Amino acid sequence: MSVISARLEMTEYWVEHSHDASLEEMMLDTQAEEVNRLELPEILSYLPPYEGYKILELGSGIGRFTGKLAELGKEVVAVDFMEKFVEKNKEVNGHHNNITFMCADVTKLELEEKSFDLIFSNWLMMYLEDEEVQVLLKKQLSWLKEGGYLFARESCNHQSGDKKRTKNPTKYRDSHLYDAFFAATTMPSGKENKSFGFDLVLNRPSQTYVKLKHNRNQVIWLFQKNLRTNANIHGYETFQEFLDNHQYSEKGILRYEKIYGPTFVSTGGQDTTKEFVSRLDLKKDQLVLDVGCGIGGSAFYMAKEFGVKVVGIDLSTNMVNIGLKRVKDIAVLEEQVQFEIADVTKRDYAPAMFDVVYSRDTILHIPEKLMLFKRFFKWLKPGGKLLISDYCCSPGEHSDQFKAYVEQRGYTLLSPVHYGNVLKEAGFCNVQADDRTDLFVACLQRELERITSIREEFIKEFSLEDYDYLVTGWKDKIERSGQGDQRWGVFFAEKP
């Protein structure tokens, strides 16, 4: 059976059994009705503000999303290869005069380059062969304007739908294979040593499916087409690749966890988390954004101890994947701690969405701190609280050793006073900018004592090289702090 004929058989099944004859039966099913009710607004919430956008919808089906996209979009081109689907879409959404309906196979589709602001793809690539997916992604990259967005949602890992579809040609790929396809998709920019690629904005499971079906296999991606300077971050094309392959490799994260304690990868582990969180006056069912959540230590602690809901985001795929594994060992509900692989400088949330924004030793990676703090300000509710710990530096000149360390890590550091002033400039009030280097050094010394006390156990689990690397790193931090170069700040602020 060819790919096209197999997909045709599958879609004919859905026309007959889902969209026509059994629609009333489906709506009688409470869970199916609830999924349908909650999923549409959730999916739309992940899109960038698309008012005035020219949108390409691939695999538009019977138009569940087409009309919503047309309400704000300047123009929508809705494409599906099933004529029955296209006709149904026209019937439902034909009253919008800004929709162009196309019946076409996306594997053969040819469109003008740089002509769309947003491409919306929902349950499409799972019906294509690997080679077809890779070719289509290259086409999509060319169809997007610079700065344009690609949204994709796919069923991954294993079948979770109608088991009666025995001849279903659907490919339930490992989500990491899609990650690899996206990462490998580039195109020449016409500028020397530069190319266009997809930069990740967010990657997460559909919360509707997690909540109602305990299913994390409905995976969502949002990418932005950006210009890259090839090999510009220590030999890696993107900052995410640098993190996952350099500083936060899977083994590197597990080494940190061994020192900081289960589920923690930041200074002081649970001890400092308890101290800092106590300043937030958390209340049950509040919503917390944990920026740079790592493998979930602070998020799990806040959820368990205070009954809050936490959205934990981290750009490191390795961090989030380990965090998801740790969920199984922590007594919290799946929907209580949500993980996203996301770039906080590109990800957007609704205004006044969160009660608290919390971040531990993460913002050191981000140069444009004022821009980021303004985003935090927008996302917080009036009266919302901000709590950050971060690596800092002393004001004035620094040693060559410290400069080399900061450059090697790609950090952008401010003095604690400067940090606090940037928070004030972003609009925050009641800003408390505390230099807590004393606490930082005390934690480092305790952690150094711990690692030396479990030397043989650590070497057996990892290696002598790993042991020496961490011992040297901890001693260097203590020395840099003692010399006055490296500082550690804790920052509290509120939104008026």
Domain 3-229: give its CATH superfamily. Answer: Vaccinia Virus protein VP39 (3.40.50.150)
Which pLDDT belongs to residue 231? 53
Which pLDDT belongs to residue 193? 78
> What is the rounded distance in angstroms from the CA atom of residue 7 to the CA atom of residue 168?
8
Letter string b/e over residues 309-345, b meaning 16 or more CB atoms within 10 A of that residue's CB = bbbbbbbbbbbbbbbbebbeebebebebbbbbbbbbe
Which pLDDT belongs to residue 98? 98
Which pLDDT belongs to residue 415? 97
Tens digits of pLDDT across the chain (496 residues): 344 444 554 444 444 434 444 444 444 456 677 877 889 999 999 999 999 999 999 999 999 999 999 999 999 999 999 999 999 999 999 999 999 999 999 999 999 999 999 999 999 999 999 999 999 999 999 999 999 999 999 999 876 544 444 455 789 999 999 999 999 999 998 887 789 999 999 999 999 998 888 888 999 999 999 998 755 566 677 778 878 887 789 999 999 999 999 999 999 999 999 999 999 999 999 999 999 999 999 999 999 999 999 999 999 999 999 999 898 888 787 789 999 999 999 999 999 999 999 999 999 999 999 999 999 999 999 999 999 999 999 999 999 999 999 998 889 999 999 999 999 999 999 999 999 999 999 999 999 999 999 999 999 999 999 999 999 999 999 999 999 999 999 999 999 9
Which pLDDT belongs to residue 355? 98
> What is the rounded distance in angstroms from the CA atom of residue 491 to the CA atom of residue 493?
7
Tokens of 331: 């007594």
Q: How do residues 304-326 score in pLDDT, each as one tens digit?
A: 999 999 999 999 999 999 999 89
Q: How do residues 1-34 score in pLDDT, each as one tens digit?
A: 344 444 554 444 444 434 444 444 444 456 677 8
The fold of 239-494 is: Rossmann fold (3.40.50)
| Intervals of CATH 3.40.50.150 along the chain | 3-229, 239-494
Which pLDDT belongs to residue 329? 83
Evaluate if pTM is beyond 0.75.
yes
Which pLDDT belongs to residue 422? 98
